[in-house]
């Protein structure tokens, strides 16, 4: 950051942006469902990226939270039955922008143990999920009102694109990927192209584990190469980590996140939505980075982010943060050593769903590798399916036909590609679908049956559309 941070924020032009394909799909789905049902078709859900109801049933969590809150009350040792416990007062009172101290200390200990990090709780800033962290990071660098370039992947998370497009001074410079991550020569070239065009480049935004929507995780070697370029070029890595614990690889094979490799180069976004519950919207932003400010001085980026957060959400939700702290304690109310046992309860569902989908694709389409390809995700909620050749175009009409003719709900990939990627390749994403295995409207044996039926219907539809 340079001394232009003294300049005030400029409001973006109020113009109508293109509606995302996921919102278009949500709006048109009732009509398409009606058409499919008139034909006697069952609707198969392979589109939604929501946590599964079987792993987000709040009843066990609520019971555990109540037991944890009772533990806090007993720990205070109050003798007066009418006395207000401190945890309860704090949970429903105004709190500092950093939120309650104890949940931050608990999270720092457990998360730090899992990723071999010495996390300073004072540098943990609560956010409204990882989305809040994205917005906070963008707002910090947008405040000067100067031309700004965001480096990101092609494809990338639609929520990031939506946030980036709010700033009339910002432009996205995207980087194509291969099977290991962003293409390094392209990554370096885009940073330099942005600077040559007069833009300040603050960070590279990515989801390296269980990439949404690309359906794979970066290799360890590619992460190091990305980090080397970021260090050489003097930019930060904005690491979005919603699926860090939704990981199917054996423990020794899991690559380290960027924050564990270089906390001084990384702004790390954690969300409790996948490891805990999505509704409370608990998240943290963490970094050990320093940036240059006015007068050539250096400041911890968390100090600047905290100031930004104070202007955005002055008071955090202490009850939700205390509730998340309950998740960090076991049934004996001892602080957990690791979050992996919590994750395993969810991975039982997601691992099974993933295998059903991958097995179904192999059984239904594995005999035609010249026509179809799909990713084998080591983390996250999605596989990306590609039609090889130029016979199939996965545009809006194709998506509507998938529902109306086959009863299959999927999400096209083209809208996840930034505008510059589509300018370089007008067919970017128009041969791909994001296939989700995380969500269904059923559970247990019915979930397994519905998912097998869904992937069978999908394979039948893919063969029909590809003409084989």
The beta-strand segments (E) located in 60-128 are 124-128
In angstroms, how far is CA 199 from the centroid of its own chain? 26
Question: For the domain 86-327, what is the CATH code?
Answer: 3.40.640.10
Q: Do 454 and 439 meet the contact criterion of CB atoms below 8 Å apart?
A: no
Residues 6+ apart with CB under 8 A from 120: 108, 288
Q: Which of 48, 162, 158, 216 has its CA nearest to residue 417?
A: 158
What is the domain partition of the chain in residue ranges?
Answer: 14-55+341-466, 86-327
Would you state the structure tokens that stand for residue 340, as one six-digit string? Answer: 């992996």
Tokens matching residue 86: 């401190």
Whole-angstrom distance, CA of residue 360 vs CA of residue 436: 13
Task: Return the closest-CA partner of residue 87 out of 331, 78, 123.
Answer: 78
pLDDT value at residue 1: 38
* DSSP-assigned letters across all residues of 152-186: EEES--HHHHHHHTT-TTEEEEEEEEETTEE-HHH
Tokens read off for 43: 């609707």
For residue 2, the model assigns a pLDDT of 37
The pLDDT score that the predictor gives to residue 83 is: 84
Mark 295-327 as b/e (b = at least 16 C-beta within 10 Å).
eeeebbbbebbbebbeeebeebbbbbbbbbbbb
Give pLDDT, residue 16. Answer: 42
pLDDT recorded at residue 34: 76
Q: What is the pLDDT along the chain (468 residues), one digit of tens a residue?
A: 333 333 333 333 434 445 555 566 566 667 766 776 777 888 888 988 889 999 999 999 999 999 999 999 899 887 777 888 888 888 888 888 899 999 999 999 999 999 999 999 999 999 999 999 999 999 999 988 899 999 999 999 999 999 999 999 999 999 999 999 999 999 999 999 999 999 999 999 999 999 999 999 999 999 999 999 999 999 999 999 999 999 999 999 999 999 999 999 999 999 999 999 888 899 999 999 998 877 778 889 999 999 999 887 878 899 999 999 999 999 999 999 999 999 999 999 999 999 999 999 999 999 999 999 999 999 999 999 999 998 999 999 999 899 989 999 999 999 999 999 999 999 999 999 999 999 888 999 999 999 999 999 999 999 999 998
Nearest to 275 by CA among 237, 250, 253, 242: 242
Domain 14-55+341-466 has CATH 3.40.50.300: no
Nearest to 210 by CA among 243, 249, 175, 177: 243
Q: How far apart are CA 113 and CA 107, in angstroms?
A: 10
């Amino acid at each position: 950051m340079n001394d232009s941070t003294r300049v005030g924020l400029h409001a973006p032009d109020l113009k109508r942006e293109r509606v995302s394909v996921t919102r278009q799909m949500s709006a048109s789905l009732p009509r398409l469902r009606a058409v499919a049902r008139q034909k006697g078709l069952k609707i198969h859900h392979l589109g939604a990226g929501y946590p599964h109801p079987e792993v987000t049933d709040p009843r066990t969590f609520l019971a555990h939270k109540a037991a944890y809150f009772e533990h806090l009350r007993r720990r205070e040792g109050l003798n007066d039955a009418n006395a207000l416990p401190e945890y309860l007062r704090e949970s429903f009172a105004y709190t500092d922008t950093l939120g309650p101290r104890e949940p931050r200390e608990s999270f720092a200990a457990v998360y730090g143990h899992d990723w071999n990090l010495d996390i300073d709780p004072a540098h943990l800033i609560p956010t409204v999920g990882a989305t809040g962290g994205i917005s906070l990071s963008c707002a910090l660098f947008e405040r000067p009102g100067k031309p700004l370039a965001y480096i990101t992947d092609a494809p990338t998370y639609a929520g990031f694109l939506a946030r980036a497009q709010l700033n009339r001074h910002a432009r996205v410079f995207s980087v194509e990927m291969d099977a290991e991550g962003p293409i390094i020569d392209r990554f370096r070239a885009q940073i330099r192209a942005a600077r040559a065009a007069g833009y300040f480049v603050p960070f590279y935004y990515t989801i390296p584990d269980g990439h949404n929507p690309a359906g794979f995780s970066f290799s360890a070697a590619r992460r190091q190469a990305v980090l080397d370029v970021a260090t050489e070029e003097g930019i930060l890595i904005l690491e979005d980590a919603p699926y860090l614990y939704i990981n199917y690889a054996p423990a020794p094979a899991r690559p380290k996140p960027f924050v564990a490799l270089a906390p001084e180069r990384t702004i790390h976004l954690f969300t409790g939505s996948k490891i805990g519950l999505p509704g409370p919207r608990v998240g943290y932003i963490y970094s050990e980075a320093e940036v240059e400010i006015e007068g050539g001085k250096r400041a911890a980026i968390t100090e600047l982010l905290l100031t930004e957060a104070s202007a955005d959400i002055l008071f955090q939700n202490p009850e939700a943060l205390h509730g998340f702290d309950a998740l960090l304690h076991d049934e004996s109310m001892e602080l957990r050593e690791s979050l992996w046992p919590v994750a395993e309860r969810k991975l039982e569902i997601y691992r099974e769903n993933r295998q059903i989908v991958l097995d179904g694709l192999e059984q239904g389409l594995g005999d035609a590798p010249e026509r179809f390809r799909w990713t084998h995700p080591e983390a996250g909620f999605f596989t990306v399916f590609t039609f090889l050749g130029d016979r199939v175009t996965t545009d809006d009409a194709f998506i509507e036909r998938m529902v109306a003719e086959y009863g299959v709900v999927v999400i096209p990939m083209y809208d996840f590609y930034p505008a510059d990627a589509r300018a370089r390749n007008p067919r970017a994403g128009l041969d791909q679908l994001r296939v989700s295995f995380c969500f269904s409207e059923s559970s247990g044996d019915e979930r397994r049956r519905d998912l097998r039926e869904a992937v069978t219907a999908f394979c039948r539809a893919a063969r029909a559309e590809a003409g084989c």
